[in-house]
């Protein structure tokens, strides 16, 4: 069964450093998303991406965050200057069709620890 | 704004028994989708079951079924013949029609007792 692949599975970074989280969505999916889950809390939407541009973003997704699909397969989330409160599990997800009832397929997540 | 409420932070069930997890949501939309996701200790998000709001028939996937009450805005998950592998965090989620994000509840941690 097709999978959404995320790398790395765990990243530790110093506060103030830039991090790039990588995702390879399912190949025939058109819509891509990043979600965040702070430990013990609910999953929160960050950003959605379609047709090479951001289609929607949440209040969490401020100027410190950016997304890119540099080569038609990878989908990246960059945090420019990490803060302690950015420590969380970051999930990439993709979806096939607009307006369909398809659920999202989530990757297995990247655990980001900011020290 | 849409909200999803899971009023049971934790539930437990004996192996082979049935358990029901509750979820309510608030929306003014008429066309939307509802989902239950399972998050085991590995923390991967796994789709368990989905329901289209326009369908009156409750969705069923093997041992998992939902009770969708549109007027009451309720979407509960029933797990029959519970197995040890069902132990996980369960999230209820809502999405309105279109390319829209999922809105999650806070989750219910399910323990299965052997």
pLDDT in tens, B9-46: 999 999 999 999 999 999 999 999 999 999 998 888 89
Are A10 and A115 a contacting pair, CB within 8 Å?
Answer: no
- What phi, psi does B52 have (nearest 5°)? -90, 135
Question: Which pLDDT score is estimated for A2?
Answer: 75
- Judged by CB atoms closer than 8 Å, whether chains meet at B44 and A108 is answered as yes
pLDDT of A48 over the 60 cut: yes
For chain B, percent of residues with pLDDT exceeding 70: 100
**How close, in Å, is residue B103 to chain A by CA atoms?**
7
Residue A5, pLDDT > 80, answer: yes
Compute CA distances B58 → A52, A54, B34, B54, whole Å: 36, 34, 11, 11
What are the E-state strand segments in chain A?
A: 5-7, 10-13, 19-24, 31-37, 43-50, 53-57, 65-68, 75-79, 88-95, 105-106, 110-114
Residue to test with chain B: of A3, A39, A42, most B Cβ within 10 A: A42
Q: With beta carbons under 8 A apart, name residues in chain A contacting B91.
A: 42-43
Split at pLDDT 50, 70, 90, the class of A102 is low
Burial of B37 (0-12, 13-18, 19+ CB in 10 A): buried
Question: Distance between CA A59 and CA B89 in Å, rounded?
Answer: 26
- pLDDT exceeds 70 at position A101: no
Q: What is the pLDDT of residue A98?
A: 56
pLDDT at A24 over 60: yes
Which residues in chain A are closer than 8 Å to B37, comparing Cβ atoms? 103, 106
Give the residue from A1, A30, A103 with the most B CB atoms within 10 Å of its CB, the best one to mutate: A103
Please identify which residue in the block is written with the tokens 């989530």: A106
**What residues 55-114 of chain B have any CB closer than 8 A to a CB of chain A?**
91, 93, 97-107
Grade residue B71 by pLDDT with cuts at 50, 70 and 90. very high
Check pLDDT > 80 for residue A33: yes
Q: What is the pLDDT of residue A100?
A: 52
A106 to B45: CB separation less than 8 angstroms, yes or no: yes
Mutate to test the interface with A, among B45, B57, B75 (most CBs of A within 10 A): B45
Residue A108 banded pLDDT, cuts 50, 70, 90: very high
Please tell me which residue of chain A has the smallest CA distance to B44: A108
Using the predicted structure, report yes or no on whether residue B99 has a pLDDT greater than 90.
Answer: no
B46 in reach of chain A (CB within 8 A) = yes
Q: What gap in Å lies between CA B79 and CA A59, rounded to an integer?
A: 35
Q: pLDDT value at position B73?
A: 96
Contacts of A104 in chain B (CB under 8 A): 47, 102
Measured distance CA(A75)–CA(A46) in Å, rounded? 14
């Amino acid at each position: 069964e097709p999978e959404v692949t995320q790398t790395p599975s765990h990243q530790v970074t110093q506060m103030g450093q830039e991090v790039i989280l990588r995702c390879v969505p399912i190949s025939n999916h058109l819509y891509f998303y990043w979600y965040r889950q702070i430990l013990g809390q609910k999953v929160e939407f960050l950003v959605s991406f379609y047709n090479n541009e951001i289609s929607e973003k949440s209040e969490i997704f401020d100027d410190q965050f950016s997304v890119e699909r540099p080569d038609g397969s990878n989908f990246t989330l960059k945090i420019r200057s990490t803060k302690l409160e950015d420590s969380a599990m970051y999930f990439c997800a993709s979806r096939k069709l607009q307006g369909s009832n398809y659920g999202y397929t989530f990757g297995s997540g990247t655990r980001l620890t900011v020290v | 704004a849409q909200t999803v409420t899971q009023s049971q932070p934790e539930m437990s069930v004996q192996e082979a028994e049935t358990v029901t997890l509750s979820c309510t949501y608030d929306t003014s939309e008429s066309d939307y989708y509802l989902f239950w996701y399972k998050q085991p200790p590995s923390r991967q998000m796994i789709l368990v079951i989905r329901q289209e709001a326009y369908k009156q028939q409750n969705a069923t996937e093997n041992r998992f079924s939902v009770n969708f009450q549109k007027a009451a805005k309720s979407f509960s998950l029933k797990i029959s013949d519970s197995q040890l592998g069902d132990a996980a965090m369960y999230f209820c989620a809502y999405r309105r029609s279109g390319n829209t994000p999922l809105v999650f509840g806070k989750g219910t941690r399910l323990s299965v007792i052997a």
